[in-house]
Amino acid sequence: MKKTSLLAGLTGISFAANAADGNLTDEGIRQMVLNVTALVVIYLASSFILKAVKSFHDYRLKDKMIEKGVPDSVVEQFLKTPADDTKNQTIKWFFILMSLGVGLSFIGYYNPPFISMAAIMSFCIAGSFLAFFIYIKTTSK
The HSE-up count of residue 14 (CA atoms within 13 Å, CB side) is 19
Q: Is residue 136 within 8 Å of 91, Cβ to Cβ? A: no
**Alpha-carbon gap, residue 85 to 30, rounded angstroms:** 37
pLDDT tens by residue, 23-57? 566 677 777 777 777 887 888 888 888 888 988 88
Contacts with 1 (C-beta within 8 Å, 6 or more apart), sequence order = none
> What number is the average pLDDT over the span 80-107?
81
CA dihedral 57→62→68→74, nearest 10 degrees, is: 130
Total domains in the fold of the chain = 1
Give me the helix-helix angle, 114-140 and 86-110, nearest 10°.
Answer: 150
Domain extent, residue 85, equals: 2-140
pLDDT tens by residue, 95-136? 988 998 898 888 888 888 878 888 898 899 999 999 999 999
Q: What is the pLDDT of residue 52?
A: 86
**What's the pTM?**
0.51
Q: What is the pLDDT of residue 112?
A: 86
